């Protein structure tokens, strides 16, 4: 077992307003961590902070990835080291096709040339497992994709880039039943003993297919309770009311 991510007493702000308020989290290889918390608690902000999104200022604390301090590393460096973020609201980027985006990302991360014909062949089984048409590769990234198509495109990136840590911010939102199954299958194909997942979600949909090893309740900028998959079931049934007082 190897340490993948350690977050130690992280504080982060946006426009001088503190959003992350002393967060601690340790993720080891082979683990699937789930974060659940009310709207506006700061879950997406946390994922942006791990990737050093410049909108957020880390005012205290430390983040290490595979033993290296990445607290103040830039996003491209962190991504190249093997951290991947599937966005809650994927950006539409005109003028860059899905294929060129994936190919460029792959070659930057692997540090070597990627050959188009080989890479296309590599992507075919992944796309078919996600029930995506090959023609998606030639469309501009996320432009006019449906909500579900955008989410699938994020999972296509995950499967093609094979990071060490995958952070999935609401990868299940807006997916129909078949798409949830396809996306879960993709995540399961990625999951292994050498990598780890951090899944942010409001629902049990993905968790019915992917076994969570750790579940955390995230309220007002920090984790107030951690447990196993039974904790997710409790939250699904009872909500967060009982936890709101626990954030001292
Ligand atoms: N760039 C920003 N500018 C201003 N406020 C921001 C910014 N980013 C986040 N916030 C605020 O920080 C708080 C936390 O937002 P965040 O998106 O992290 O919540 P969340 O837990 O992911 O919620 P949800 O479950 O709805 O996705 C919210 O009040 C949000 O309005
Ligand atoms: Mg969010």
pLDDT in tens, 177-198: 999 999 999 999 999 999 999 9
Global confidence as pTM: 0.96
Closest C-alpha to ligand 1, atom 27: 39
Predicted pLDDT of residue 245: 65
User: Does residue 74 have a pLDDT over 80?
Assistant: yes
Q: Calculate mean pLDDT across residues 70-98.
A: 97
Residue 71, SS3 per DSSP: coil
pLDDT at 73 exceeding the cut of 90: yes
Q: Which of 11, 21, 39, 44 to mutate to test the pocket of ligand 1 (most atoms within 8 A of CB)?
A: 44
Task: Count the alpha carbons within 13 Å of 138 in the hemisphere toward its beta carbon.
Answer: 3
| Mean pLDDT on 66-92 | 97
- How sure is the predictor about 203, in pLDDT bands with cuts at 50, 70 and 90? very high
Tokens matching residue 170:
């609401």
- What is the CB < 6 Å shell around ligand 1? 14-15, 19, 37, 39-45, 55, 88
Q: What is the average pLDDT value for the chain, to the nearest integer? A: 95
Ligand 1 pocket test, pick from 12, 19, 39, 48 with the greatest ligand atom count within 8 Å of Cβ, gives 19
Strands 93-97 and 140-141 turn out to be antiparallel
Burial classification of residue 22, based on how many CB atoms lie within 10 Å of its CB (0-12 exposed, 13-18 middle, 19 or more buried): middle
Indicate which residue's Cα is closest to atom 29 of ligand 1.
40
The closest ligand to the CA of 202 turns out to be 1
pLDDT computed for residue 246 by the predictor: 55
- State the distance from the centre of ligand 1 to the C-alpha of 44, rounded, in angstroms: 7
Structural domains of the chain ordered from first start: 3-246 (3.40.50.300)
5: number of Cβ within 10 Å? 22
Mean pLDDT over 19-36 rounds to: 98
pLDDT score at 244:
76
**Percent of the chain whose predicted confidence (pLDDT) is above 90:** 96
What is the model's pLDDT at position 248?
A: 44
Pocket probe mutation, ligand 1, options 14, 46, 221, max atoms within 8 Å of Cβ:
14
Report the range of poorest mean pLDDT among 46-50, 90-94, 208-212, 239-243: 239-243
- The residue nearest atom 28 of ligand 1, judged by CA position, is 40
CA-based nearest residue to 61, from 25, 15, 7, 6: 7
16 Cα to the center of ligand 1, angstroms: 14
243 has a pLDDT exceeding 80 = yes
């Amino acid at each position: 077992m190897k340490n993948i991510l350690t977050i130690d007493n992280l504080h982060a702000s946006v426009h001088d307003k503190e959003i992350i308020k002393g967060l601690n989290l340790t993720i080891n290889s082979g683990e699937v961590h789930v974060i659940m918390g009310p709207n506006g608690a700061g879950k997406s902000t946390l994922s942006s902070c791990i990737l050093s999104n410049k909108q957020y200022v880390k005012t205290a604390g430390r983040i290490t990835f595979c033993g290296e301090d990445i607290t103040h590393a830039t996003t491209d460096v962190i991504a190249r080291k093997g951290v991947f973020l599937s966005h809650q609201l994927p950006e539409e980027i005109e003028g860059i096709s899905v294929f060129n985006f994936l190919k460029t990302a792959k070659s930057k991360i692997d540090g070597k040339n990627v050959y188009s014909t080989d890479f296309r062949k590599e992507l075919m089984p992944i796309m078919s497992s996600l029930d995506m048409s090959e023609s998606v590769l030639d469309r501009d990234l996320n432009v006019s994709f449906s909500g579900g198509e955008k989410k699938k495109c994020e999972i296509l990136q995950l499967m093609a880039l094979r990071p060490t840590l995958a952070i999935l911010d609401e990868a299940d939102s807006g997916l129909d039943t078949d798409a949830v199954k396809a996306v879960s299958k993709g995540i399961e194909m990625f999951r292994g003993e050498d990598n780890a997942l951090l899944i942010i979600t409001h629902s049990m949909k993905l968790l019915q297919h992917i076994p969570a090893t750790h579940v955390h309740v995230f309220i007002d900028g920090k984790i107030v309770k951690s447990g196993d998959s039974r904790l997710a079931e409790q939250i699904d049934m009872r909500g967060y009311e009982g936890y709101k007082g626990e954030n001292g």
